[in-house]
């Protein structure tokens, strides 16, 4: 299954339905406080389940990539799971605190309870003795996590601060694990609810420890050094060539995480070069967009030691279509540069269909003649037909212009990398004209936060 939306909603609905199947009390409650108890348990279980899955995806595991369509899709799912955990946790907090406020304001009457009977099971008794502590820990962890997730969602929040603060979510998660273990209804631990919760919590704890020890992606890291830097002023882009040692190779269109400064952490960039073992070098092209990339030109130098982690991604042009259409918007041209270099260098050992015809559309607002000349040279070497559209001169690329330029568009596969809204507009237009976007429109979702 390559659609992360289906996987996300499937996981979310599964958590809810599992709880309702095993503990359908929420459907049978005839008092408000009975409903409240059930909803506190349900929302707590779903929230910690979503957060546990998000923690596992934060490790950048390789095995779900083929299933979800690449690490870019996995990070999108990680974001959705984090937002869902936040929303459900807020509901959990309101169910827990709201009735207390209502009783204090005189809107509700507190139910009469008899003396609490101490559990006979020693484990249950131990957990029961920690309820007060767990409630306090969970409440303060909830407040901290709300702040951290909101900061992560603010795009203007500087990347280097995001990198440092986002890791603190692992601490909050561990606090919530304690909260969940103590406050989950004890009888649930011997049911499918408890079995699944135990698996999710163990996996989440492991992920949190790896994050806190800063060992995410360590198995895929190799050392390297910067061998050259070139700045294209017209498009405000920096070309970084690195020499790597121990790299196992990559496919054109994949990306890697580059760490030049440990305080800033790893940052993902698409690879703009092919791979040759005899020349172990990787090239990245980085546009000055956020605060992190704007500082790269000042902070990087030739000979500087770096770490490269990867490769990741499934935007690898792998299909059997006799015709492909590539669309690179702005810095989204990068994966196509890598592919063209690969095609030019492997004409006798090609791994694409014989006679495949390719049209590359590069839509850009900025112009750098040197960069465009290099792009034209790569296209000529790979026998790719290049269409350059400069916004101020040629206007925007639309579905209508695409269809006019490539009459055989219905038989092609389309590979898009660029601004998200641009891709959505093209996808909708092509879908309206009968193009099978679900099978043959491939889009890189290169937004990691």
Nearest to 386 by CA among 372, 396, 400: 372
Q: How confident is the model at residue 449 (pLDDT cuts 50, 70, 90)?
A: low
pLDDT, average across residues 319-330:
94
Joined tokens for residue 417: 């990398």
| 65, pLDDT greater than 90 | no
d(CA 130, CA 190): 20
| Cβ–Cβ < 8 Å for 76, 4 | yes
| 2, pLDDT greater than 60 | no
| Cβ–Cβ < 8 Å for 66, 314 | yes
Q: How confident is the model at residue 180 (pLDDT cuts 50, 70, 90)?
A: very high
Higher confidence at residue 449 or residue 127?
A: 127
C-beta neighbour count of 352 within 10 angstroms: 18
pTM to 2 decimal places = 0.89
pLDDT in tens, 132-162: 999 999 999 999 999 999 998 888 888 778 8
Distances in Å between the Cα of 418 and the Cα atoms of 66, 137, 421, 440 are 22, 43, 9, 17
> What is the length of the chain?
449
Q: How confident is the model at residue 194 (pLDDT cuts 50, 70, 90)?
A: very high
Nearest to 286 by CA among 267, 266, 308, 310: 267
d(CA 401, CA 397): 6
pLDDT in tens, 72-95: 899 999 999 999 999 999 999 999
pLDDT, average across residues 358-380:
95
Q: What is the pLDDT of residue 1?
A: 39
């Amino acid at each position: 299954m390559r659609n992360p939306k289906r996987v996300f909603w499937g996981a979310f609905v599964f958590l809810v339905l599992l709880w309702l199947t095993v503990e359908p009390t929420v459907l049978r409650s005839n008092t408000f406080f009975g409903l409240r108890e059930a909803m506190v348990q349900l929302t707590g279980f779903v929230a910690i389940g979503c957060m546990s899955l998000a923690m596992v995806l934060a490790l950048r595991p390789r095995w779900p990539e083929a299933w979800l369509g690449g690490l870019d899709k996995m990070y999108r799912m990680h974001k959705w799971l984090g937002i869902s955990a936040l929303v459900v946790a807020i509901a959990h907090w309101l169910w827990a605190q709201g009735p207390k406020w209502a009783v204090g304001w005189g809107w509700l009457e507190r139910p009469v309870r008899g003396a609490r009977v101490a559990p006979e099971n020693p484990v249950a008794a131990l957990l029961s003795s920690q309820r007060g502590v767990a409630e306090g820990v969970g409440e303060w962890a909830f407040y901290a996590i709300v702040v951290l997730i909101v900061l992560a969602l603010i795009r203007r929040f500087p990347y280097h601060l995001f990198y440092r603060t986002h890791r603190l979510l692992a601490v909050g998660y561990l606090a919530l694990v304690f909260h969940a273990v103590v406050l989950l209804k004890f009888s649930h631990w011997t049911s499918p609810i408890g079995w699944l919760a135990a698996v999710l919590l163990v996996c989440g704890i492991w992920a949190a420890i790896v994050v806190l020890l800063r060992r995410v992606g360590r198995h895929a890291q190799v050392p390297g050094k910067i061998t050259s830097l070139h700045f294209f002023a017209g498009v405000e882009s920096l070309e970084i060539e690195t020499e790597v040692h121990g790299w196992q190779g990559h496919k054109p269109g994949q990306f890697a995480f580059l760490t030049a400064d440990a305080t800033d952490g790893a940052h993902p960039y698409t690879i703009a070069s092919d791979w040759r073992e005899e020349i172990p070098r990787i090239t990245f092209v980085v546009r000055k967009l956020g605060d992190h990339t704007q500082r790269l030109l000042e902070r990087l130098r030739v000979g500087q030691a770096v770490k490269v982690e990867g490769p990741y991604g499934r935007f690898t042009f792998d299909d059997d279509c006799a015709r492909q259409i590539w669309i690179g918007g702005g810095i989204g041209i990068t994966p196509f540069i890598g592919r063209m270099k690969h095609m030019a260098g492997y004409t006798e050992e090609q791994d694409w269909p014989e006679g495949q015809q390719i049209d590359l559309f590069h839509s850009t607002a900025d112009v750098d003649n040197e960069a465009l000349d290099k792009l034209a040279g790569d296209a000529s070497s790979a026998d790719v037909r290049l269409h350059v559209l400069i916004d101020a001169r040629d206007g925007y690329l639309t579905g209508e212009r695409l269809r006019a330029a490539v009459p055989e568009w219905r038989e092609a596969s389309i590979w898009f990398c660029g601004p998200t809204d641009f891709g959505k507009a093209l996808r909708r237009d092509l879908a309206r004209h009968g193009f099978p976007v679900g099978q043959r429109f491939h889009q890189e979702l290169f937004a990691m936060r």
